[in-house]
Chain A
Amino acid sequence: MSEFLQLVFAGLALGARYALVALGFVIIYKATGVINFAQGGLVALGAYLAYAYNSVTLFALAVVLAALTAGLVGAAVERVVLRRMVGQPVFAVLMVTIGLLFVLEQVITAVWGYDALNLADPWGVDTVKAGEVVLAERDLWTLGIAGAVLAAFFVFFRFSTLGVAMRATAFDQEAALAQGISARRVFAASWAISAGLAALAGVTLAAGPAALTPSISAIALVAFPAMIVGGLDSPGGAVVGGLLIGVTQSLTSGYQEDVLPWAGQNLAAVMPYVVMVLILLVRPYGLFGTREVRRV
């Protein structure tokens, strides 16, 4: 039992990181109808920026600065590239973000190189015992930070003027425009917030014993299933999907040898996609996604 709880806890910590990235996807998708493949690049950018700031200032301050800078980059990307793509087909916009990912990744490696770097290790390897279960402090911090940020976002989304404007634009862009809401500001804000969340996810992934390498951007590929499972346009769904995928991965790597030995090595890496396909077969718009109404 304690092994099971242990795995679930590790899975939740992993899932919280996915949730941060997946929520970033959902925010951009909801406001602008774009799936942002460059999110992984922003995750890496955030982590590297934190590394750069951390060499001159405190870790906590470096994290905040990194999130802010990543947010600015996100808003700039929206302003310079994505705004020109308004009215283009879904596929074209999606490919533009893939192109951006390639450029972003190579800019990062041109600046910081391929070598593994050490972002600060503020949490160490200390553990806390809760009954039988050993909890890593690092995971507790990750859960705490992710939880606080997610809660802050949902409060912001629900009550602040900009948050309400974002929801209004997502619901009906034209009506929002008629009410005097600036869609441009909303788009820029969506990209900025999403990039900030990506940066935080990057820091929680890279801080501590894990080294910082450009491959960190691959996390976005696992956050896709998290987003799809929850439903493309549901912020709450992104969090649920992230945790679900995290726990599934953790349990798979824990129990695969006993239960599914024939399914091949490293099954945990592809489990998110298996879960995603299975859920989509039952609910084509994810667990909490809005059904698309087709009218003739």
Chain B
Amino acid sequence: MARPSRTLTRRYEDELRLFRTRWSQAGLVALVALWALTPYVLADDFWLSVLDYAGIAAIGAIGLNLLTGYAGQVSLGHAAFLGVGAYSAGYLGSELELPFLLWLPAAALIGGLLGAVLGPFALRLRGNYLAIVTLGLVFLAEHVFRNLRDVTGGNSGRSVQAPPEVGPVDFSDLSFGGESFSNNQGWFWLVWGLVAVVALLAKNISRTRPGRALQAVRDRDVAAEVIGVQLGRTKVWAFAISSAFAALAGGLYGSYQQFVSPDEFSLFLSIQYIAIIIVGGVGTIFGAVLGALFLGGLPGIIERYSDSIPGVATSAGGDGFISVFSLNQAIFGALIVGFLVLEPRGLAALWLRAKAWFKAWPFGY
């Protein structure tokens, strides 16, 4: 009897498995090894901090992707929930001095509840109207951040003294086996570990009943309602879960930076998150992570090598016609336009296409 193809599906359980083939299982092991070893190999503080920020962004982007990519609800308001998470972390962690294992889930919970409260507003609105209203949410949140001084510290921001300590282990000051690690190295393990947890959670949400309801709403909400999806509940749920992930990311962001100010949670941040899921691939969890790595890494690369890019002014009043900041912004805009026009399914699609090509290899035609 001939050996079956390695992706032959025989039982329904096979189809639902997350890591179906030997190759993807090996890939998982490789990823874990990469996660564990990167801080050893890459001791450079600059690149580690880039990766830490990218990991935090990946968590927030996975949340936005559940809402926008899976449920099809366009939201420009993600920055507001990131801000809520960051300030919650600041207040709960440094003012009330709660431990890490309490303030982080609490920040996510606050974000989620707020999303659930604001979700019903979204029920009546669709498409473009929804996009503009969530845009308003960013400005209203910024107003609150600036004026609720007891919690947020007002315009000048507040410090966040909420170290990521789990029992005796402090990720910002790790040491084991007689070796001590820097702040950025510890954060790398923490953040990317959390990325894996969040990604697995989101993946499982997306393939089970509530997740399929989200996708039905996205594809055709009237039809979804007809086949028994409760439209209202599903949309509110999508907002809540997406906001909770955003607040989680915001809390980590605040704790990592040890400082937050209202200027950071502007419309631009929302747009950055949308760009992450567009460039990575709308509607794929994996794409959100890829996009965060790509858009997180690119400014770092430009900043590091700005000396050797022609026409860039590295200092104010230096030679060149465009500043590093301007170049970043322009590239960022061009990437959004370029991906949407040329490859709307993002980086994830490039990967899937390569995989599909190798599936039939060497018998591609």
Task: Give A contacts to B, CB under 8 Å.
Answer: 29, 35, 81, 84-85, 88, 90-92, 94-96, 98-103, 105-107, 109-110, 221, 224-225, 227-228, 232, 263-267, 269-270, 272-274, 276-277, 280-281, 284-286, 292, 294-296
Chain A residues near B330: list those with CB within 8 A: 102-103, 106-107
Q: How far is the CA of A228 from the CA of B127 in the complex (A)?
A: 12
Is B326 a contact partner of A88 (Cβ separation < 8 A)? no
Interface residues of B (CB under 8 A from A): 68, 72, 74, 121, 124-129, 131-133, 135-137, 139-140, 142-144, 146-148, 222-223, 226, 267, 271, 274-275, 278, 321-322, 326-327, 329-330, 332-337, 340-341, 344
Taking a contact as CB atoms under 8 Å apart, the answer to whether A269 and B143 are in contact is yes
Chain A minimum-CB-distance residue to B338 = A99
Using A85-B340, A90-B128, A98-B336 as known contacts, say yes or no to A221 and B267 having CB atoms under 8 A apart: yes
Main secondary structure of the interface of A (DSSP, over half): helix
On chain B, the residues within 8 Å of A263 by CB distance are 147
Q: Which residues of A contact B127 (CB under 8 A)?
A: 90
Q: Are A280 and B340 in contact (CB under 8 A)?
A: no
- Pairwise interchain contact A91-B336, C-beta atoms closer than 8 A: no
Distance of A284 from chain B, by nearest CB (Å): 4
List of A residues within 8 angstroms of B326 by Cβ: 106, 109-110
Q: Decide yes or no: A81 and B341 within 8 Å by CB, A110-B322, A294-B222 being known contacts.
A: yes
Given contacts A224-B135, A228-B132, A269-B143, contact A98 B68 (CB under 8 A): no
Q: Contact: A266 with B336, CB < 8 Å? A: no
In the assembled complex, how far is the CB of residue B340 from the closest CB belonging to chain A, in whole angstroms?
A: 5
Contacts of B126 in A (CB 8 A): 292
Q: Which residues of A contact B139 (CB under 8 A)?
A: 221, 269-270, 273
Report yes or no: A90 in contact with B121, Cβ–Cβ below 8 A: no
Q: Are B274 and A95 in contact (CB under 8 A)?
A: yes
List A contacts of B124 (CB < 8 A). 280-281, 284
CB distance from A221 to the nearest CB of B (A): 7
Q: Least Cβ distance of B148 to chain A in Å?
A: 8
Task: List 3 A-B pairs, minimum CB-CB distance, nearest first.
Answer: A102-B333, A264-B147, A99-B336
| Distance, CA A263 to CA B226, complexed state (A) | 44
- Neighbouring B residues of A85 by C-beta, 8 Å: 340-341
Give the contacting residue for B146; candidates A94, A107, A265, A296; CB below 8 A.
A265
Check B128–A35 contact: CB distance below 8 A.
yes
Q: Which of B133, B146, B226, B329 contacts A276 (CB 8 A)?
A: B133
Whether B341 pairs with A221 at a CB distance below 8 angstroms is no
Known: A35-B131, A85-B341. 19 other contacts (CB 8 A): A35-B128, A81-B337, A91-B72, A94-B74, A95-B340, A98-B333, A102-B334, A103-B334, A103-B337, A106-B329, A107-B330, A221-B139, A225-B132, A264-B146, A270-B140, A276-B133, A280-B125, A292-B126, A295-B222
Is B337 within 8 A of A267, CB to CB? no
Q: Which residues of B contact A273 (CB under 8 A)?
A: 136-137, 139-140
Contact status B143-A267, CB under 8 Å:
yes
Q: Show 28 A/B contacts (Cβ-Cβ < 8 Å), sorted by A.
A: A84-B341, A88-B340, A88-B344, A95-B274, A95-B340, A98-B333, A99-B332, A100-B333, A100-B337, A102-B332, A106-B326, A106-B327, A106-B329, A110-B326, A228-B129, A228-B132, A264-B143, A264-B144, A264-B146, A264-B147, A273-B137, A273-B140, A274-B140, A277-B121, A280-B129, A281-B124, A284-B124, A294-B222
